[in-house]
Amino acid sequence: MASFGRKLARSPAVQRTAGKLLAGYLKFVNATARRHVEPSGNLLELYAAHLPAIAVFWHGRHFMTPFACPRELTVHTLVSRHGDGTINAVAVQSLGFVPIRGAGDRKGNPAGKGGAYGFLALLRVLRDGGSVGATGDVPKVARVFSEGLVKLAQKSGQPIVPIAYVTKRRITLSSWDRAEIPLPFSRAGVVLGEPIYVADGLDAEALETARLACETALNAANDRAVMLAEGGARV
């Protein structure tokens, strides 16, 4: 019976259905959310000079990020080739993102588990004028910013934009990424940070400094989103 359940869960039809259901639920959460967005105004116009960009968000708070990006903007994003990758691919496509099957390794390097393909695919998208979205941390290493994304920004010449979408009503799981399940009819904080450019020709120390700056900026965006979601002071 357990074997049958595993086979059923791996069925493409079941995973496609699950992906569509997940997307439908997230759309419902967003539709019923009382959103407080920073910066205010037309986001596409505000960030026009910095496009294409690399939109980055933490694992565990990635579910709602498609709704933080301007609707007119086409964003390509990496999803895993393994496990629940099909579910995620169908979900993000239903939410307006373009999925690219590939993943980085534990250190965020463009190698292993489809990482090399994914890195080159995202680089190609950026060079062709498209924006990309990616989790800033890699599996099992929560809230540590990926060096691979810093190198992607460096090679492409395009900026990293920290993004956070947090709902006040949420369930926090005990997973490695402290995944949060957003709940409907909630106050929400949506924050897009300042674009961060990474200069070419940096040595290892300067590259680490850039990585830490990105990590700090993404944490700040998340902290501000939590404050807005919880009803904190607006400035």
- Model pLDDT for residues 103-156, shown as the tens digit of each residue: 554 444 444 445 677 889 999 999 999 999 999 998 788 999 999 999 999 999
Q: Which residue has the tokens 């990474």?
A: 198
**Residue 210 domain flag:** yes
Full residue range of the structural domain in which residue 195 is found: 34-229
Can you say whether the dihedral through the CA atoms of 146, 217, 26, 99 is positive or negative? negative
* Secondary structure (3-state) at 206: helix
pLDDT at 7: 58
**Residue 222 domain flag:** yes
Arithmetic mean of pLDDT over the chain = 90
**Residue 127 domain flag:** yes
- What percentage of the chain reaches a pLDDT higher than 90? 76
**Residue 72 domain flag:** yes
**Residue 130 domain flag:** yes
* Secondary structure (3-state) at 41: coil
Q: How far apart, in whole angstroms, are the C-alpha atoms of residue 175 and residue 154?
A: 31
pLDDT at 103: 58
**Residue 10 domain flag:** no
pLDDT at 80: 79
Q: Number of structural domains, the chain?
A: 1
pLDDT at 1: 46
Name the strands in the sheet holding 54-57, side by side, starting at the edge strand that comes first in the sequence: 34-38, 187-192, 160-167, 54-57, 131-135, 75-79, 98-101
CB-based contacts of 77: which residues, under 8 Å, 6+ apart?
Answer: 92, 97, 98, 99, 100, 132, 133, 134
Query: And the tokens for 143?
Result: 């809230």
**Residue 78 banded pLDDT, cuts 50, 70, 90:** confident
**Residue 12 domain flag:** no
Model pTM score: 0.88
**Residue 15 domain flag:** no
* Length of the chain in terms of residues written: 235
